C-alpha cells in the first residue's frame, strides 16, 4: 500500500512537521510513503519521490515546506489530471494527504471523481479563513511573527511620537489583524468585519493626546484596503505624523510554534487513519470547539468563514 503527501497554495509554518509525522506514521503502519514536490504542478510533472527518514530529518523546526508548493492552472484541464493520475498509478499510490485550502480541496475532489484517488485535506493557511474549522495549520506561528513585529515597531513609534499603521495579511478575512491588535495592545483596528466610527476615534485620540499619549498603533487588515487612508487620516485629522508598515511575507515564515507542531502531528496521524477506512465524502479534517472532526467539501464551501462573535465584541472597542 502506498500513500503520498503534497502541499498546495500558499505555504505556512507547520507544513514541515506535518510532512515529518506523515512519513514516520506511515512507516509505523507498514505503508510506503511518497513525497510530491511542487504541489499540483509536481503531480503533473512526476516530481514524486519515495520518502525516507533522511528526506524528513531535521525539518521539524523549519518554516515553509521542504517539498515546496505551487498553484496550477494546468490541473484544471482533464488531460493534465490524467497525466497526474498515471504518475500516481505507476507507483501504486491511490491515497493522498493534501495540505492546502478550499481551492486545493475542490481540485482534489474533482481528481477523486475522475480517477478514484482518495484524499484527506488538512486546512493549512495563515489566513485562518476556512469555514468549518476554528483553526488552520500555520496561523499560530503567523500570529507570533506579527506580534514580534508589532512589539518592535512600537519601540520606534514611542521614540518618535508617531502613529504607525501596520498592515497584516489575511486576504478578505480580518482574523490575523483582529487577534494581533487585541494581543499586542494596539489602540486602533481596521478590518472588513467591523465598521469604524472615525469621528469617535478622532475624539478619543485627541483627548488621549491632551492627557499625554505620545504614539498610536493601528492594525489594518489587507482586505480592508485602508492602510494609506488611515495614515492620511492620522496626519490630517489627528495632527500626528504617521508611517505605514506592511509586514508582508515574513508572516508566512518562521520556525513553527509548539502549538502548530502539535496540531500538525495530530492532523497528519488522523488523516492517515481516515484514509485507511472506506472512502466517503467527509474528507477534510477540521478542528472545531477543541475537537477534531471530518466534514465534506460541500460543507466547507456552504458558508463564508466568520470570526467568532466573542472576538468581534472584544475588538469593537478598537474601532470607535
Q: What residue ranges do the domains of the chain occupy?
A: 2-138+256-303, 140-253
Domain 140-253 has CATH 3.40.50.460: yes
pLDDT tens-place string over residues 83-99: 999 999 999 999 999 99
Backbone torsion region of residue 142, taken as left when φ is above 0, otherwise alpha when ψ lies between -120 and 50, otherwise beta: alpha
**Residue 167's pLDDT band (cuts 50, 70, 90):** very high
**Residue 120's pLDDT band (cuts 50, 70, 90):** very high
pLDDT tens-place string over residues 274-293: 999 999 999 999 999 999 99
Active-site option among 11, 94, 102, 127: 127
- CATH class entry, domain 2-138+256-303: alpha beta
Query: Is 172 a residue of the active site?
Result: no
Instruction: Please indicate whether the domains covering 2-138+256-303 and 140-253 agree at the CATH topology level.
Output: yes
Extract the C-alpha cell encoding 136.
488552520
**Residue 206's pLDDT band (cuts 50, 70, 90):** very high
| Nearest alpha carbon to residue 123 among 303, 294, 2 | 294
pTM of the model: 0.96
**Residue 17's pLDDT band (cuts 50, 70, 90):** very high
Supply the mean pLDDT for the chain.
97
Task: Compute the average pLDDT of residues 142-146.
Answer: 98
Amino acid at each position: 500500500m502506498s500513500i503520498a503527501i503534497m502541499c498546495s497554495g500558499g505555504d505556512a509554518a507547520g507544513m514541515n512537521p506535518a510532512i515529518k509525522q506523515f512519513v514516520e506514521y506511515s512507516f509505523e503502519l507498514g505503508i510506503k510513503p511518497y513525497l510530491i514536490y511542487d504541489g499540483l504542478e509536481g503531480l503533473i510533472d512526476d516530481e514524486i519521490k519515495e520518502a525516507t527518514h533522511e528526506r524528513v530529518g531535521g525539518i521539524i523546526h523549519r518554516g515553509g515546506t521542504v517539498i515546496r508548493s505551487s498553484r496550477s492552472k494546468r490541473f484544471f484541464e482533464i488531460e493534465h489530471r490524467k497525466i497526474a493520475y498515471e504518475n500516481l498509478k505507476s507507483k501504486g499510490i491511490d491515497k493522498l494527504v493534501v495540505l492546502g485550502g478550499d481551492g486545493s480541496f475542490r481540485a482534489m475532489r474533482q481528481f477523486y471523481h475522475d480517477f478514484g484517488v482518495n484524499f484527506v485535506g488538512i486546512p493549512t493557511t495563515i489566513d485562518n479563513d476556512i469555514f468549518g474549522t476554528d483553526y488552520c495549520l500555520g496561523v499560530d506561528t503567523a500570529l507570533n511573527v506579527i506580534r514580534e513585529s508589532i512589539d518592535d515597531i512600537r519601540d520606534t513609534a514611542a521614540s518618535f511620537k508617531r502613529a504607525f499603521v501596520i498592515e497584516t495579511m489575511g486576504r478578505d478575512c480580518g482574523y490575523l489583524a483582529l487577534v494581533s491588535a487585541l494581543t499586542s495592545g494596539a489602540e486602533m483596528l481596521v478590518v472588513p468585519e467591523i465598521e469604524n466610527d472615525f469621528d469617535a476615534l478622532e475624539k478619543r485620540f485627541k483627548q488621549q493626546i491632551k492627557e499625554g499619549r505620545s504614539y498610536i498603533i493601528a492594525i489594518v487588515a489587507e482586505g480592508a484596503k485602508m492602510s494609506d487612508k488611515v495614515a492620511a487620516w492620522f496626519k490630517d485629522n489627528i495632527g500626528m505624523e504617521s508611517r505605514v508598515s506592511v509586514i508582508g511575507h515574513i508572516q508566512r515564515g518562521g520556525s513553527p510554534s509548539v502549538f502548530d507542531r502539535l496540531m500538525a502531528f495530530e492532523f497528519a496521524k488522523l488523516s492517515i487513519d481516515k484514509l485507511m477506512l472506506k472512502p466517503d465524502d467527509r474528507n477534510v479534517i477540521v478542528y472545531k470547539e477543541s475537537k477534531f472532526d471530518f466534514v465534506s467539501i460541500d460543507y466547507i464551501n456552504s458558508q463564508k468563514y466568520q470570526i467568532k462573535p466573542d472576538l468581534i465584541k472584544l475588538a469593537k472597542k478598537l474601532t470607535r
